[in-house]
Amino acid sequence: MKVAIITSGYLPVPASKGGAVENIVENFIIENEIEKKVNFEIFSIYDENAENISKKYQYTNFNFIKPNKIVKALDKIIYFFFKNILKKEKTMSYRYIIQRLYFLRKTSNNLKKNNYDRIILENHSTLFLALKWHKNYIKYKDKYYYHIHNEIKSFYGCENIIKNTKKILCVSNYIKKQVENFFGIQDSKNIVKLTNCINIDEFKEISEKEKISLKKKYNIEKDEKVILFAGRLSNEKGIRELLLAIRGIKNVPKFKLLVVGSFFFDTEVKNSFEEELRSIIKEIKDKVIFTGYVKHEDMYKIYGMSDIAALPSLWEDPAPLTIIEAMSSGLPIVTTDSGGIPEYAKNDCAYIIKRDENLIKNIKEKLEELLNSEAQRKKMSEISLKNAKELNLKNFYNNLLKDIDIDL
């Protein structure tokens, strides 16, 4: 069985530059090396490190698409125009426009020339252009599936092609409901929930010696508690509100807030929002440490030395992997009632806070409570670990194959 997976065209798979969706796709590949039930073919943008990593996988073929110099130059011009002339806020939306069109054109050509038993399109509805061009949607009728991680915003001229998708796999019931509303249908058997999972074995416990060494690396004292924020440094992730909450914390044991992430993963894209964050912490600079981007394979150490995860998303976060990673590491969590988060952070492993006018105050109070109570941290930690056991790669992989109608 030959299964093609079309990735975004932004970031590579294997996920050498990070990216939640890219890591999810790599998880499929990792489990398939064990199960060997299908042959994957991954369509990915080219990256030298990703290509080197890909060589270790025996049951997946990687079709890396490398943009030429003209594509790269045009993208830089477009990005400069939107960032510096039009002063757009979400600049990353304009960084790889030509690259993605180039990627989709090459992918479409490949779909025409070759034959696949199943096709999975990962997340962005622009990927359906690869089916529209060359009329590949006819060739692959009843064989293409849409794995959606965020809300659909537009059809991009592919409305009928998307509507004729064999099945839409949604990362949460929240996204499932959004998709049904977008299409104006209810309780469709072709729109299903595929729960996100991670490789929980990667998030192994680290020794006290390793914790002390890592704390020293980041200028954290041995007896200081660590509050972890992991994710993009963007407004919707709630990092600004978290910093303001940290600024108000009083009468607690010594602690540090460790901020792990960059604006757009491991790329050169920068944003004025990062500078705004730095200005907020001037009066609490002794409490906050920015690490920048940390490679995925090193994140288990960061989680392992942390005591609390603070992930206060403001937008309707569909199913953030950081929540699952925090649970897999046995961390108590302070988060919000956004999107699909309550579907994952359940059974009292997390404080789920409403996104209202009291958000900052409530974040502050819950962090104070956890910093002051080892017993509460331990209780929530045990529940986190129990929740994470259900979200393993084997279940994820088998559920995926079942949902794309492959007999196990």
CB 384 within 8 A of CB 335: no
Bridge partner residues of 120 (DSSP): 5, 145
Q: How far apart are CA 283 and CA 247, in angstroms?
A: 8
In the block, tokens 């069985």 appear at 1
The pLDDT score that the predictor gives to residue 263 is 60
> Averaged over 172-185, what is the pLDDT?
92
Q: How far apart are CA 12 and CA 63, in angstroms?
A: 11
Bridge partner residues of 372 (DSSP): none
Q: How far apart are CA 287 and CA 327, in angstroms?
A: 24
Q: What are phi and psi of 259, to 5 degrees?
A: -100, 110
Q: How far apart are CA 59 and CA 93, in angstroms?
A: 33
Instruction: Tell me the pTM.
Output: 0.89
The pLDDT score that the predictor gives to residue 267 is 53
Least confident interval from 21-30, 59-68, 124-133, 271-280 = 271-280
pLDDT in tens, 197-218: 999 999 989 999 999 999 999 9
The pLDDT score that the predictor gives to residue 265 is 45
The pLDDT score that the predictor gives to residue 252 is 95
The pLDDT-based confidence of 264 (bands split at 50, 70, 90) is very low
SS3 state at 350: strand
The pLDDT score that the predictor gives to residue 283 is 83
Bridge partner residues of 3 (DSSP): 40, 118
Percent of the chain clearing pLDDT 90 (strictly above): 81
> Averaged over 246-268, what is the pLDDT?
82
Token pair of 378 as six digits: 């331990």
Q: Taking all residues of the chain, what is their mean pLDDT, rounded to a whole number?
A: 93
Bridge partner residues of 45 (DSSP): 65
- In 14-72, where do the E strands start and end? 39-45, 60-65
Residue 269 has pLDDT above 80, yes or no: no
Q: 97-111, 265-279, 289-303: which has the highest mean pLDDT?
A: 97-111
The pLDDT score that the predictor gives to residue 292 is 85
The pLDDT score that the predictor gives to residue 271 is 62
The pLDDT score that the predictor gives to residue 50 is 97
CB 107 within 8 A of CB 124: no
CB 346 within 8 A of CB 225: no
Q: How far apart are CA 153 and CA 155, in angstroms?
A: 7
Token pair of 150 as six digits: 């965020």
Token pair of 8 as six digits: 């975004």
The pLDDT score that the predictor gives to residue 186 is 81
The pLDDT-based confidence of 125 (bands split at 50, 70, 90) is very high
The pLDDT score that the predictor gives to residue 165 is 96
Q: How many alpha carbons lie under 13 Å from residue 134 in its C-beta half-sphere?
A: 16
Q: How far apart are CA 56 and CA 354, in angstroms?
A: 44
Q: How far apart are CA 235 and CA 227, in angstroms?
A: 19
The pLDDT score that the predictor gives to residue 295 is 85
> Averaged over 231-254, what is the pLDDT?
92
User: Quick one: which of 244, 282, 237, 287 has its CA closest to 261?
Assistant: 237
Q: What is the identity of the amino acid at 393?
A: L
The pLDDT score that the predictor gives to residue 352 is 98
Q: For each of the domains in the chain, give its residue range(s) and CATH number, in order of start.
A: 2-197+392-403 (3.40.50.2000), 200-388 (3.40.50.2000)
Token pair of 301 as six digits: 């150490």
SS3 state at 168: strand
Other beta carbons within 10 angstroms of residue 405's beta carbon come to 13
Other beta carbons within 10 angstroms of residue 282's beta carbon come to 8
Residue 166 has pLDDT above 90, yes or no: yes
> Averaged over 225-240, what is the pLDDT?
92
Q: How far apart are CA 333 and CA 345, in angstroms?
A: 8
CB 169 within 8 A of CB 194: yes
Q: How far apart are CA 356 and CA 353, in angstroms?
A: 9
pLDDT in tens, 79-104: 888 888 887 766 677 789 999 999 99
